[in-house]
Amino acid sequence: MITACKAYVTCDGSETVWTQPTDEVIKKLKDCIKLYHSYKDCFHRTKERLEEAENERKFDFSEMYIFGKFETFTKRVNKIIDMFETMEMYSHLADSKIEGRDSDDTMYWICIKIISYMNVSIRILTVYMHFVIIL
């Protein structure tokens, strides 16, 4: 499922999250999270149904074994969504006409470029954005 989600988000490896429109990427990432929840709900319904049936074999599969990696993947996807939403929120600073903000706007776009070329943690972006706001 993780492989299928990665293929879906990256258009079978032909695109990256940086080469696609942000709203499209966020939609795809949210679809991956919905898929995780759908599979987990189906797992729980099947498990309950089999536990209620006396003549059926018990459902003795480890939920963590089945969903552990997918859960970790969805946590990372949520962080990516947060990063895109943070970038979108602070991108409006570039449009503001406040005097003396030109250097901050330039630094913002430099950070965006660096992040788009590297796998930088969302914490770095958030720390920078708070620093810009304080200035």
Per-residue pLDDT reduced to its tens digit, 82-119 = 888 877 776 666 565 555 555 555 666 666 666 665 55
Q: Residue 96: which residues within 8 A CB-CB, separation 6 or more?
A: none
Residue 77 contacts residue 29 (beta carbons within 8 Å): yes
Q: Per residue of the chain (135 residues), what is the pLDDT tens digit? A: 888 998 999 999 898 888 888 899 999 999 999 999 999 999 999 888 888 887 777 777 888 888 899 999 999 899 888 888 877 776 666 565 555 555 555 666 666 666 665 554 544 545 544 444 433
Full-prediction pTM beyond 0.95? no
Residue 62 contacts residue 70 (beta carbons within 8 Å): no
- φ/ψ (deg, to 5) at 21: -60, 140
Number of compact structural domains in the chain: 1
Cα(25)–Cα(76) distance, integer angstroms: 14
Domain extent for 79: 2-134
- Element housing 82 (H / E): helix 63-91
